[in-house]
Amino acid sequence: MKKKLLKSLVELTGNPISSGILRHLSASRLSKPLIKTYSKAYKIDESIMEYPREHYDSLQAFFTRNLKSEARPFNTSPEILISPSDGQLSSYGRVEDGHQFTIKGHTYSINEIFMDEKRASTYKNGWYFVFYLSPADYHHFHYPADGTVINRYALGTKSYPVNTLGLTYGDKPFETNYRLITELATNYDKLALVKVGALNVNSVQLYSSSKDAKKGEDFGYFSFGSTILLFVAGGSHFSATIQEKGSIHVGDPIGQWQQ
């Protein structure tokens, strides 16, 4: 019963009242007794956490935990694109008909995601990857390649869920939710990381405004379960190397540029 209640709390809809209650409860020291139950309910691998469970003073602190430095190794070869997060690679492929891709029966337009046709044009006929971070996952995001941050901006104001239910029955949350977009210029192509907020507009946190992007570097985190859309510019010598959708970790190779 306690597990079911906890899961229901974490997986609440985007209602502003319920999400506000969840936000304040999870950040309170009163939530500390829930950490053990949370960890067991979601089968958290505590062996790779930076600190033991008892170190965290609130459910929120535990949710946004760091990992041990050696927990997520990655390929340092510059031509290899790596996963920016843990979670589920729920979809990937080419951006079709120049500007569209489909997830859970919904067709999305990159023009709507970027809310600017000129900005979106960089990624027409390119590649997209969708990473869903559940309550069980490590919630930090890392740079998938070396490069320079050339744009960083926020769009949207809503906060609907981005889990399977939200994607299936929601109002295209990738086009409407609050999202923080970071665009990188690499030695090969431009990349865009679209970090989609869930439950509240403050759910995406960045560490700094530095323009240096170092492959594998942790540069922010989600306060609640969320999603990352990664776009690779069109017209390039890039191809996906990952073979199937499913569980993925930060640093796992997902694609490669031809030399």
pLDDT digits (tens, 9 = 90+) for 17-48: 555 666 677 888 989 999 999 999 999 999 99
* pLDDT confidence of residue 163: 45
What pLDDT is recorded for position 25?
Answer: 76
Structure-token pair, residue 111: 């023009």
Q: Is 121 marked active-site?
A: no
4 or 83: which carries more pLDDT confidence? 83
Burial label, 118 (beta-carbon count in 10 A; 0-12, 13-18, 19+): exposed
- pLDDT per residue over 155-189, tens digit each? 866 555 444 444 443 444 554 567 889 999 999 99
The predicted pLDDT at position 168 comes to: 40
- Assigned token pair, 8: 């229901």
Catalytic residue chosen out of the listed positions 109, 142, 189, 223:
142
Q: Is 8 known to be catalytic?
A: no
Positive/negative CA dihedral, 247, 183, 176, 118? negative
Query: Which of 19, 86, 159, 189 is flagged as catalytic?
Result: 86
| Tokens, residue 89 | 């690679």
Q: Name, in order, each residue with C-beta under 8 angstroms of 150's C-beta and a sequence gap of 6 or more.
A: 183, 184, 185, 190, 211
pLDDT at 162: 45
Confidence of residue 103 (pLDDT cuts 50, 70, 90): low
- pLDDT > 70 in the chain, percent: 76
What pTM did the predictor assign? 0.84
Active-site residue 249, yes or no?
A: no
The span from the CA of 94 to the CA of 169, in Å, is: 24
| Spatial CA neighbour of 146 closest among 202, 197, 213, 79 | 213
Tens-place pLDDT, residues 108-157 = 788 888 988 899 999 999 999 999 998 889 999 999 999 999 999 888 66
